[in-house]
């Protein structure tokens, strides 16, 4: 069972961003560890912007929405998939949801020149990346530059 929270239950998300999520019918899946997660702020598409990355679940499928914090406009989306793909055994015969979003500073990936698909990452890296973790397993940083997303495995 995936615990999903309505956007309005996470008051740390700006009202305009919550309104955009509500308009799309989003619920925010929560990882088994118990913390309220999967909504993070950062500059994910360009230097100096303020955005929110939110895992939006509708009808059992999720995608990450990148939302402008001032207008509530959805700027981009990535990582579509069934919520069931985020499940893993957590011991004692129990299953838990394991996807978690985190902001990754430019310094954390700034040394990378090539992504995991062999594409050159435009330099300089001047804004945040979005780290998508599968708890206790692996995580992948997503960095956007020039309208393209670059993927870098950050843990395995």
Look at residue 109 in the predicted model and tell me its pLDDT. Answer: 83
Percent of the chain at pLDDT exceeding 70: 99
Percent of the chain at pLDDT exceeding 90: 61
- What does each C-alpha distance from 114 to 6, 20, 30, 144 come to in angstroms? 38, 34, 32, 13
Q: Phi, psi (5° rounding) for residue 98?
A: -125, 5
- 3-state SS, one letter per residue, for the chain: CCEEECHHHCCCCCHHHHHHHHHCCCEEEECCCCCCCCEEEECCCCCCCCEEEEEEEECCEEEEEEEECCCCCEEEEEEEEEHHHHEEEEECCEEEECEEEEEECHHHHCCCCECCCCCECCCCCCCCEEEEEECCCEEEEEEEECCEEEEEEEEC
Look at residue 81 in the predicted model and tell me its pLDDT. Answer: 87
Q: How many CB atoms lie within 10 A of CB 11?
A: 10
Look at residue 131 in the predicted model and tell me its pLDDT. Answer: 94
Look at residue 88 in the predicted model and tell me its pLDDT. Answer: 83
Look at residue 150 in the predicted model and tell me its pLDDT. Answer: 94
Q: Is the pLDDT of residue 156 over 70?
A: no
- CA distance linking residue 72 with residue 156, whole number of Å: 34
Average pLDDT, the chain: 91
Residue with the bigger pLDDT between 20 and 115: it is 20
Residue with the bigger pLDDT between 46 and 97: it is 46
Look at residue 104 in the predicted model and tell me its pLDDT. Answer: 93
pLDDT by residue (tens digit) across 20-79? Answer: 999 999 999 999 877 778 999 999 999 999 999 999 999 999 999 999 999 999 999 998
Angle at 153 between CA 60 and CA 75, to 5 degrees: 55
pLDDT band at 8 (very low <50, low <70, confident <90, very high): very high
Look at residue 86 in the predicted model and tell me its pLDDT. Answer: 85
């Amino acid at each position: 069972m995936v615990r999903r929270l309505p956007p309005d239950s996470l008051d740390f998300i700006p009202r305009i961003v919550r309104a955009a999520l509500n308009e799309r019918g989003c619920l925010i899946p929560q990882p088994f560890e118990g913390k309220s997660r999967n909504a993070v702020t950062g500059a994910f598409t360009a230097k100096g912007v303020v955005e929110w990355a939110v895992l939006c679940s509708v009808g059992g499928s999720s995608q990450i929405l990148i939302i402008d914090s001032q207008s509530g406009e959805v700027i981009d989306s990535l990582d579509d998939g069934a919520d069931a793909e985020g499940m893993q055994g957590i011991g004692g015969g129990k299953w838990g949801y394991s996807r978690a979003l985190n902001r990754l500073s430019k310094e954390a990936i700034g040394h990378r020149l090539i992504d995991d698909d062999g594409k050159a990452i435009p330099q300089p890296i001047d804004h945040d990346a979005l780290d998508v973790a599968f708890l206790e397993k692996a995580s992948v940083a997503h960095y956007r530059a020039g309208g393209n997303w670059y993927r870098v495995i950050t843990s395995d």
